[in-house]
Amino acid sequence: MDYSRIDTSQIDRLWELQKAYKAEIGEDAPGEPDKNKLLSAVEKGQIAFFGAFDEGTLIGCCSVTAGFSTFDYAQSGVFEDFYICPEYRHKGVARELVQYAYRESGVSSMTVGCAGCDVEMYRSLGFGIPLGNLLAFGE
């Protein structure tokens, strides 16, 4: 298994994983305008995607969006878009991908917001420092 940052040349395969991720968590399928927004954000460096590759095929992904945090007064990252193709699960790929993304993103801390049913999975991957409740604001 190889791990690397996903660049814009891999956007079509990343997009397939994004759609699979959204379907698995019960969200509406994103459309072509969403793909274009994602491509623009990657090009501008607003979000970094990291991937797990099996013989050159992207089989897992995650993203880290960096910003400054007073948690430790340093660059922090929000971990999202975590998806491993089902046939590659329970083989250590997830753990390796999370560690790779953390190292390569250059952040000093990384947070994740997740559904209650995913808390234990994220704890097993190294997200073990509780920071209270994460709530999103939006209209």
* Residue-by-residue pLDDT tens, the chain, 139 positions: 999 999 999 999 999 999 999 999 899 999 999 999 999 999 999 999 999 999 999 999 999 999 998 888 999 999 999 999 999 999 999 999 999 999 999 999 999 988 888 989 999 999 988 887 777 777 7
Buried b (16+ CB within 10 A) or exposed e, 68-81: ebeeeeeebbbbbb
Q: Domain map of the chain by residue range?
A: 2-124
Is-contact 8 43, C-beta < 8 A?
Answer: yes
Question: Six-digit token pair at 10?
Answer: 């891999």
Distance of CA 114 to the CA centre of its chain: 12
CATH class, domain 2-124, is alpha beta
